[in-house]
Amino acid sequence: MHCASCVYTNEKALKTIPGVTDAVVNLTTGKATLTSEKIIEKNKVTDAVKSVGYQAMFESEESLDDKIKIEKMKELKDLRIKVFVSLFLGGLIVWGSFPGIMDFAPEIFKNFYFQFVLASIVQFWAGKDLYRAAVSSLRHRIANMDTLVVIGTTVAFLYSIFVTFFPKFFMDLKIEAMPYFDVSTVIIGLILLGRFLEAQAKAGTGEAIKKLIGLQAKTARVIRNSKEIDIPIDEVVAGDLIRVRPGEKIPVDGIITEGESAIDESMVTGESMPTSKYKGDTVIGATMNKSGSFIYKATKVGADTMLSQIIKLVEEAQGSKAPIQRLADIISSYFVPIVIMLAIATFVGWYVFGPSGGLIFAMLNSIAVLIIACPCAMGLATPTAIMVGTGIGAQHGILIKDAESLETAHKVNTIIFDKTGTLTKGKPEVTDVMEFPISNFQFSKKEIVKLAASVEKNSEHPLGEAIVKKAESEKLQLIKVSKFKSITGHGVEGVVNGKKIYVGKIYKSDKFSQGNNLKDQGKTVVYIYIENKLSGLIAIADTIKESAKEAILTLNKMGVETVMITGDNLATATAIGKKLGIKKILAEVMPQDKEKEVKKFQKEGRVVAMVGDGINDAPALAAADIGIAMGTGTDVAIEAAGITLVNKNLTSVVSAIKLSKQTMKTIKFNLFWAFAYNVILIPVAMLGLISPILASGAMAMSSVSVITNSLFLKKIKI
């Protein structure tokens, strides 16, 4: 495929298949996505595509990527040969027929019959695919780029044959009997050269996928029957125990069962600092083990790994269409018939009103109109930019599900953030420890934490887990507890070193203002009693993510309104909102009501983005103009979102908006250039101010310039 009309031709053919409700064909990847009410037989898809002059392969086929690679290499090689032959033979014809240089040419080059033989090779061998595509499309009453090229070159070729074999007819009309084999031959050569350059440039737009695929490990060291063996990664099955040594890539996703290490996860998170991993932690396939040796259990293999899912998501995004692309497709489908009518009008005008020998002028000028108007650049304007834009996003840990999400992101003027797990870490952490004097003896902060953790070790309460984690982080040796008791709604108690320890709510008889101050900050306060006397307190809170404040500040400066939505109480929500600089707080909102809040903003004319991570956020993510899910979130939330932040960094919300703006800027410039090229040069061709050969060269370069401009996106900083 080479233009928007080619895409339209294939989409129309695929939509004729019974059961197919929609068909989307991507120009740059050459992939088609079908939406159907039932399972479609492969042969029906193959036949539909074949009927319009193309062939189809299926993703379910083994080694599809290898097949595509082989086909593309074959296509490039074939184009290279045809370009060389066409331009070489065309050059010989030009040498023998062009005024000024033909005087120095061998006599055989000037012979019209010799030129006919050379031109026939180019016309019917090099241009075979052009004819095949044009005939197939016309059979379905569709005109595309190939139609324009074939009509133009065939007219020039047939005229030249007539001149060669029936020169007397023109002599009788006092018209110079001069063939134009050079026109038809060189035009085909230049058209094929343009396609060759396009094919090479398009290959550059798919580098993101290639890089991701290249990240995969080739082998895995599995432990089977108490022996370590190296096997190809394709043979790894879920449940396998795998050993990873320092400096090795992790083969597949899994959970560490033995050992610990620091792992470079930059390829999925974008974070440059290695992440410490311990027993029970998850590891991601294709990430790099930096230090320790460990054994882990494979949980996801093959197409289920995170990397495979990322690759699939990026491919789908690159193959989808933005609304602005659909507009270009519609214009292109009407554009070709209009151009043909303009070419006919040009021919009639020059033939009737042109100088003597108007037939020749009429023919050449109408051919120039057909060639100059080929909508290649128009068809490439959007998909090339989308491919590069989504690729850049993937490299920065921003996965964009479809082109529409990429286009919508730059329009967002209101962003609603879920609190827990999105703005905050989603895990309670100890933030403050205070000690009080008791019987002229004061326990230190570490002793308070140690005693509290020793008792809470026996509890499964999240607050208790936070205290235990605090003790472990400070490497405090916990003490055995006796007479442990959980007091529902209040706390826990036990005996440690002969002392009764209570951890929980404050006794009614005690008053402590510092505790109230901490509560006002959105923290949960746990009080520690030793022998029934208040000895200290521990404040616990779901701490704010390091990236949240920077992200909110930047968004506010950009003029984007930030909103926080949570089921938490108003006091806690307000405290966190104040720290972040979020003025609008929606607290105590039930999960099922989050969607309603999104729709309220939309009714006010806002373009709303929702950022969340939980199952309870899924309806709101789906209802928003664009949903942004945290990579640490649930599968349901990620599925409902248009953008996923794998890197867990909230500043990536800003990056996604910036990427959207730059991509749309590139698309608009591409479309402007494509339309301007046709609007300016079609009248020039109609007036006879540009030759068919120059027209073909200009057409090819317009396509290459559009692709090159899209590739410039790689240089932007987000």
Please list the active-site residues. 418
Nearest by Cα to 549 from 584, 577, 585: 577
DSSP classification of residue 419: I
Beta bridge partners of 249: 288
Strand, helix or coil for residue 466: helix
* φ/ψ (deg, to 5) at 337: -60, -40
* φ/ψ (deg, to 5) at 431: -110, -30
DSSP classification of residue 233: G
CB atoms closer than 10 angstroms to residue 170 = 17
φ/ψ region of 479 (left if φ > 0, alpha if ψ in -120 to 50, else beta) reads beta
296 is written with which tokens?
Answer: 């882990």
| Strand spans (E) along 27-143 | 32-36
Strand, helix or coil for residue 323: helix
* Torsion angle (degrees, nearest 10) of CA 595, 598, 604, 608: -140
CB-based burial of residue 5 (10 Å sphere; 0-12 exposed, 13-18 middle, 19+ buried)? buried
Q: Give the Cα separation of 406 and 500 in Å (integer).
A: 60
- Give every CB contact of residue 653 below 8 A, 6+ residues apart in sequence: 415, 551, 555, 609, 611, 628, 645
What string of H, E and C letters represents the secondary structure of 147-179?
Answer: HHHHHHHHHHHHHHHHHHHCHHHHHHCCCCCCC
CB-based burial of residue 281 (10 Å sphere; 0-12 exposed, 13-18 middle, 19+ buried)? middle
- Give every CB contact of residue 120 below 8 A, 6+ residues apart in sequence: none
Between the alpha carbon of residue 562 and those of residues 559, 595, 617, the distances in Å are 9, 16, 17
| Strand spans (E) along 121-260 | 219-224, 227-232, 241-244, 253-259
Which residue intervals of 439-512 are DSSP H helices? 445-456, 462-473
Hunting for tokens 């009103």 — which residue is that?
353
Q: Give the Cα separation of 252 and 284 in Å (integer).
A: 6
Strand, helix or coil for residue 459: coil
Hunting for tokens 């349901």 — which residue is that?
636
